[in-house]
């Protein structure tokens, strides 16, 4: 898999957890290059605690991203300011040992929504989605490198873990790995023209769908989107190469 895939960036940027259990996203692009995005997430509280404990001991659990508690409506609104993105709805909750997050956003262009759905300072490489013209006159939606500002490097590395901490990290890693068995990621990208071809495993009308779970996550599959669609009746803005 490629970490530049927009929806996987969403999962990392908003929850910043290993063992993310459920993540459903639907990004729909309209005929002007804007659109809407819906994100729904759910994770067990013991997975969140295990990740927090791991990070507190200097465990290598991925990039330094905001945790679940950091992601509030105010946090997202601050991210969206000046980027043409509006937070329409936002809800967080906890029930039956799980924490949930659901939000809907509207955006005026793909660069703006890519910024909001990326890591705070572009630690995931500053990539998102962009539209370009194909030689035959159609449009193509695919990964676009926007070169968002990089996260400043940390000057002080974390201290080496003690033997006791290393043992605890192994236990926590087992908890996090166990959560992968419940992995449920569904990603939908909808384009404003008829689909000519898409590298998604499933296409329904103008919507390309990627599903990642414990059964197929190790399989070779293309998750950096490339959707060619008809330009008939459309005058979409295109991103510079």
Is 237 part of a structural domain of the chain?
A: no
What are the backbone dihedrals phi and psi of residue 78, each rounded to the nearest 5 degrees, phi first?
A: -65, -40
Number of domains in the chain: 1
Instruction: Please state, in angstroms and rounded to a whole number, the distance separating the CA atoms of residues 150 and 123.
Output: 6
User: What pLDDT score was predicted for residue 105?
Assistant: 94
Structure tokens at 42: 């759910």
Is 72 part of a structural domain of the chain?
A: yes
User: What pLDDT score was predicted for residue 216?
Assistant: 63
Is 81 part of a structural domain of the chain?
A: yes
User: What pLDDT score was predicted for residue 179?
Assistant: 61
Is 238 part of a structural domain of the chain?
A: no
User: What pLDDT score was predicted for residue 62?
Assistant: 44
Instruction: Please state, in angstroms and rounded to a whole number, the distance separating the CA atoms of residues 9 and 125.
Output: 10
User: What pLDDT score was predicted for residue 187?
Assistant: 86
Is 192 part of a structural domain of the chain?
A: yes
Other CB atoms within a 10 A radius of the CB of residue 228 amount to: 19
From first to last of its 241 residues, the chain has per-residue pLDDT tens of 333 334 444 444 334 444 446 778 899 999 999 999 998 888 777 777 776 776 666 655 444 445 667 788 998 898 899 999 999 999 999 887 788 889 999 999 999 998 887 754 444 456 788 999 999 999 999 988 888 776 555 566 667 777 887 787 777 777 666 666 667 788 899 999 999 999 999 999 999 998 877 666 555 555 678 999 999 999 888 765 4
Place of tokens 């507190």: 56
Is 236 part of a structural domain of the chain?
A: no
User: What pLDDT score was predicted for residue 94?
Assistant: 87
Is 40 part of a structural domain of the chain?
A: yes
Place of tokens 């996987």: 8
User: What pLDDT score was predicted for residue 107?
Assistant: 96
Helix (H, G, I), strand (E, B) or coil at 206: coil
User: What pLDDT score was predicted for residue 27?
Assistant: 93
User: What pLDDT score was predicted for residue 13?
Assistant: 37
Q: Could you tell me which of 25, 175, 20 has the C-alpha nearest to residue 99?
A: 20
Is 1 part of a structural domain of the chain?
A: no
User: What pLDDT score was predicted for residue 59?
Assistant: 55
Domain that residue 212 falls in: 6-229
Residues 6+ apart with CB under 8 A from 124: 3, 4, 9, 12, 13, 63, 118
């Amino acid at each position: 898999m490629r970490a530049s895939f927009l929806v996987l960036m969403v999962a990392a940027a908003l929850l910043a957890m290993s063992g993310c259990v459920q993540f459903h996203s639907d990004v729909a692009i309209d005929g002007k290059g804007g659109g809407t995005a819906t994100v729904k997430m759910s994770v067990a509280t013991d997975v969140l605690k295990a990740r927090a404990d791991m990070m507190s001991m200097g465990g290598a659990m991925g990039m330094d991203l905001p945790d679940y508690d950091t992601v509030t409506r105010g946090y997202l609104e601050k991210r969206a300011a000046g980027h043409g993105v509006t937070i329409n709805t936002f809800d967080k909750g906890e029930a039956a040992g799980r924490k949930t997050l659901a939000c809907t956003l509207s955006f005026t262009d793909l660069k703006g929504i890519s910024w909001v759905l990326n890591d705070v300072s572009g630690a995931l490489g500053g990539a998102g989605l962009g539209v370009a013209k194909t030689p035959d006159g159609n449009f193509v939606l695919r990964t676009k490198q926007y070169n968002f500002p990089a996260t400043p490097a940390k000057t002080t590395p974390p201290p080496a873990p003690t033997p006791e901490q290393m043992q605890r990290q192994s236990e926590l890693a087992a908890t996090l790995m166990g959560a992968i068995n419940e992995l449920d990621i569904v990603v939908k990208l909808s384009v404003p023209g008829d689909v000519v071809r898409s590298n998604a495993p499933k296409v329904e009308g103008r919507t390309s769908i990627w599903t990642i779970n414990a059964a197929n996550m190790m399989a070779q599959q293309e998750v950096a989107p490339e959707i060619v669609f008809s330009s008939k009746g459309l005058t979409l803005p295109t991103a510079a190469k």
